[in-house]
Amino acid sequence: MMYENSLDFARQLDANDPLRSFRERFHSPRQAGKSLIYLCGNSLGLQPKTAREALERELDTWQNLGVEGWFHQAEATEQPWLSYHESCKADLAQIVGAEPSEVCPMNALTVNLHLLLASFYRPTEKRYKILTIKGDFPSDQYALETHVKHRGLNPADTIIEIAPRPNDRLIHVTDIQHALAEHADELALVWMSGLNYYTGQLYNMAAITETVRQHCRRGNGRSQWDIPVGFDLAHAIGNVPLQLHDWGVDFATWCSYKYLNGGPGAVSGVFVHEKHHDKNLPRLAGWWGYREDERFAMTPGFVPASGADGWQVSTPNILALALHRTSLRITAEAGMTALRQKSQRLTGFLAHILAPFTDIQLLTPDDPNQRGSQLSLLVRKDGKVLFQHLTAQGIIGDWREPDCIRLAPAPLYNSFEDVWRVGEALTQFFQTRKEGV
């Protein structure tokens, strides 16, 4: 698309936007009576207008039925709490490209990562190493480090980190493939983010997974189970199209408070490929993961529920699931194809707006196929001052030390005019600096 840096052009794009009505389904943050331009959905998505009603519905069930809410359906509710998580599965499956049996909303991301590592990280004397990327989100780094220590292994010897290239600070898929070729015979696991939280770089998960499979098929007794592949999808889910089942990804987990707009600290979720459902995998079990039809028999000996549900541990938070379900439905209704198309236009327009500002370097890849909704801006001089200026102009982004401003126009609720206003604020800032005011 050929972009023009003008307000009229932005408003024309908004007028022709097939998703423009979705903006009205969210509450827009306000300050001093004025709506803010919210470009921070990569950190916390906006509140759907249906969120309060969804919460009140379950509060009414609790008020009117008490404990019977687990087993009986209140007048205004769709199903008993006992099977509430099942009402999220169809939309989740659509969003991540999975079968409903392969997904389950539960817990928090890092809790789920530990649970999944217990099943999929199975080190042996010769193959015990984990391949990941350097500088991934700290929570993932801490989880790998402590999980490895818990196994009695040394993280420095066990965790192989692929570093970004110094010239562009990105990790190219060929770098990952070369590392896989080099370390395939000693790997027990590949784990990494699907989309980098800092740079906004989208990794080719399909190519990475297939490369692992190729090494597993080389012979010498290997099987496809030997090197499981897992992804942290915190910044990818609801942001970019995923086909976890078809790609052959073994497992994944995510949070739902970013592009899925599930609320602060919203419930996480897991994906476990169906090829692992009938395997007797080791796991850290809890009562809620027991097969549902016999759960209340209270018998010893863990028998997992079928599919991803068998990785549940604790009684689900129904109020959190209510928020999760109402937000999932909005994303599923819009559809990932349409969301992706608008997202690429929004970031393309934002990149066009940013191009004239020579003091700003775009860290995120230029190729729209290698990024999601986020653009990371490196500002070497007075970056924090610029960020504060944007905030003062009612533009809400995210600052990351030492010199990065992250802006993420979310296609569900951001407009092209929002993006144009960023350029207007930048022009004002740099013009003021030039004039020495």
- The Cα–Cα gap between 385 and 383 comes to 5
Q: Which residues have C-beta within 8 Å of that of residue 236, sequence separation ≥ 6?
A: 193, 194, 195, 202, 242, 254, 372
Q: In the predicted model, what is the mean pLDDT of residues 142-164? A: 97
pTM of the model: 0.96
Mean pLDDT of the chain: 95
| 346 contacts 280 by C-beta, under 8 angstroms | no
Distances, alpha carbon 433 to alpha carbons 176, 299, 378, in Å = 42, 72, 18
Flag whether 431 is in a domain. yes
Long-range (24+ apart) CB contacts under 8 A made by 181-184 are 181/215, 183/129, 183/131, 184/215, 184/218, 184/227
* 189 and 98 fall within a common domain: yes
Q: Of the residues 333, 365, 395, which one is the last residue of a structural domain?
A: 333
Query: What stretch of H or E contains 229?
Result: strand 229-232
Q: In the predicted model, what is the mean pLDDT of residues 233-256? A: 98
Flag whether 102 is in a domain. yes
Flag whether 402 is in a domain. yes
Flag whether 54 is in a domain. no
| pLDDT of res. 355 | 97
Lowest mean pLDDT among 13-22, 207-216, 342-351, 404-413: 207-216
* 154 and 247 fall within a common domain: yes
* 185 and 311 fall within a common domain: yes
| pLDDT of res. 226 | 80
Flag whether 53 is in a domain. no
pLDDT at 437 over 60: no
Q: In the predicted model, what is the mean pLDDT of residues 303-313? A: 96
Share of the chain above pLDDT 90, in %: 91
| pLDDT of res. 222 | 46
Strand ordering across the sheet containing 129-133: 103-105, 269-272, 251-254, 229-232, 187-193, 129-133, 159-162
Flag whether 1 is in a domain. no
* Side chain identity, residue 315: T
* 96 and 199 fall within a common domain: yes
* 210 and 82 fall within a common domain: yes
From the CB of residue 354, how many other CB atoms can be counted at a distance below 10 Å?
18
pLDDT by residue (tens digit) across 13-49?
Answer: 999 999 999 999 999 999 988 999 999 999 999 999 9
- The Cα–Cα gap between 6 and 353 comes to 9
| pLDDT of res. 75 | 67
Q: Which residues have C-beta within 8 Å of that of residue 182, sequence separation ≥ 6?
A: none
pLDDT by residue (tens digit) across 410-434?
Answer: 999 999 999 999 999 999 999 988 7
SS3 per-residue string spanning 166-209: CCCCCCCHHHHHHHHHHHHHHEEEEEEECECCCCCEECCHHHHH
* 241 and 320 fall within a common domain: yes
CATH number, domain containing residue 387: 3.90.1150.10
* 340 and 329 fall within a common domain: no
Q: How many helices (H) and strands (E) does the chain have?
A: 13, 15
Distances, alpha carbon 50 to alpha carbons 27, 57, 324, in Å = 10, 11, 11
- The Cα–Cα gap between 292 and 275 comes to 21
Instruction: Name the nearest CA neighbour of 232 among 406, 370, 116, 65.
Output: 116
Lowest mean pLDDT among 213-217, 293-297, 322-326, 394-398: 213-217
| 231 contacts 249 by C-beta, under 8 angstroms | yes
- The Cα–Cα gap between 437 and 430 comes to 10
> What is the pLDDT confidence band of residue 77, given thresholds at 50, 70 and 90?
low
| pLDDT of res. 357 | 96
* 19 and 75 fall within a common domain: no
| pLDDT of res. 186 | 95
Q: Which residues have C-beta within 8 Å of that of residue 437, sequence separation ≥ 6?
A: none
Phi and psi torsions of 355, nearest 5°: -50, -40
pLDDT by residue (tens digit) across 365-417?
Answer: 999 999 999 999 999 899 999 999 999 999 999 999 999 999 999 999 999 99
- What total of structural domains would you count in the chain? 2
* 169 and 251 fall within a common domain: yes
Q: Of the residues 282, 307, 333, which one is the last residue of a structural domain?
A: 333
Distances, alpha carbon 322 to alpha carbons 95, 267, 340, 350, in Å = 18, 10, 26, 34
* 131 and 210 fall within a common domain: yes
pLDDT at 190 over 90: yes
Flag whether 56 is in a domain. no
* 315 and 250 fall within a common domain: yes
Q: Of the residues 316, 333, 350, which one is the last residue of a structural domain?
A: 333
CATH number, domain containing residue 126: 3.40.640.10
| pLDDT of res. 224 | 45
| pLDDT of res. 413 | 98
Flag whether 385 is in a domain. yes
What pairing do the DSSP bridges indicate for beta strands 395-396 and 37-38?
parallel
* 265 and 359 fall within a common domain: no
- Per the structure, the complete domain to which residue 43 belongs is given by 7-47+335-435
